[in-house]
């Protein structure tokens, strides 16, 4: 299926790389516009979204990524990656922007200091049994879901923690930190089915 990119500016790049390679993908770390042009799919890791945003602008990959995502590049974002895919970020730092593409509003650090991180078993119907062991670390929550967006996982209190819209997949939690490749498999299936032809550099 061609190289799968992992945005490698900050965050848990290594964990995504190893789970993707375990699933048979050829991984290319993405740090330049040339890297963006070479990939058929992209994972945006967990980490700190405001830092990844800043570095993406410094490295000149923000605009190429926005163009590629707009052209249908299959993408999967975990935690900070989900924040970077959201059209609207609530509680971002001053000046923080996202790549966008996903018609949702996401609140950063939505669980507050009383529950900075926690783990839970999460049923994800599109993935099936058994439930995912979901790791949340200063995680965001999806507070608004646009009409074209499908909610694919919720906490027991109804808060939305995983969504998809076309070729864009996002989760508040980190499957790359457990040994569960099912979310990445879903993403790689999107890559296999995708009509994405890349973007032509101007």
Rounded distance, CA 155 to CA 13, Å?
A: 26
Nearest approach in angstroms of CB 172 to ligand GLN is 9
Nearest to 44 by CA among 58, 33, 56: 56
By CB under 6 A, residue 80 contacts ligand GLN: yes
Distance, CA of 45 to CA of 22 (rounded, Å):
17
137 is in an annotated binding site: yes
79 is annotated as an active-site residue: yes
40, 109 Cβ separation under 8 angstroms: no
**Which is the catalytic residue, given 15, 16, 79, 184?**
79
Distance CA 154, CA 181 (A): 19
Residue 123 to residues 4, 27, 84, 127, 134: CA-CA distances in angstroms?
Answer: 27, 28, 24, 8, 10
Instruction: Check the annotation: does 108 bind a ligand.
Output: yes
- Known binding residue 48? Answer is yes
Site for ligand GLN in 95-154 (CB under 6 A): 108-109, 137-138
Q: Least distance in Å: CB of 140 to ligand GLN?
A: 6
Active site residue 184: no
- Smallest gap from Cβ 36 to ligand GLN, in A, equals 21
Per CB under 6 A, 83 contacts ligand GLN: yes
Position among 19, 79, 102, 163 found at the interface with ligand GLN (CB under 6 A): 79
Q: Binding to ligand GLN by residue 46, rule CB under 6 A? A: yes
Any catalytic annotation for residue 150?
no
Q: Report in angstroms how near the CB of residue 47 gets to ligand GLN at its nearest.
A: 5
| CA atoms within 13 A of residue 102's CA, in its CB half-sphere | 33
Q: How crowded is residue 159: how many other Cβ atoms within 10 Å of its Cβ?
A: 15
Establish whether 138 is an annotated binding residue.
yes
Residues with active-site annotation: 79, 174, 176
């Amino acid at each position: 299926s061609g190289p799968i990119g992992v945005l490698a500016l900050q965050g848990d790049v290594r964990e995504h790389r190893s789970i993707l390679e375990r699933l048979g993908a050829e991984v290319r770390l993405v740090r330049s516009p040339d890297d963006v042009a070479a990939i058929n799919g992209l994972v945006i890791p967990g980490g700190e979204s405001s830092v990844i945003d800043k570095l993406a602008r410094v490295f000149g990959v923000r605009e190429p990524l926005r163009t590629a995502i707009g052209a249908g590049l299959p993408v999967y974002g975990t935690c900070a990656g989900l924040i970077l895919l959201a059209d609207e970020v609530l509680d971002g730092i001053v000046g923080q922007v996202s790549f966008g593409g996903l018609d949702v509003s996401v609140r950063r650090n939505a669980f507050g200091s009383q529950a900075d991180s926690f783990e839970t078993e999460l049923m994800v119907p599109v993935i099936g049994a058994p439930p995912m062991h979901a790791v949340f670390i200063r995680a965001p929550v999806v507070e608004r879901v646009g009409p074209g967006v499908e909610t694919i996982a919720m906490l027991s209190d109804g808060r939305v923690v995983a969504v998809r819209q076309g070729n864009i997949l996002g989760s508040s939690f980190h499957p790359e930190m457990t040994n569960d490749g099912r979310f990445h498999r879903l993403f790689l299936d999107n890559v296999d089915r995708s009509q994405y032809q890349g973007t032509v550099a101007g």
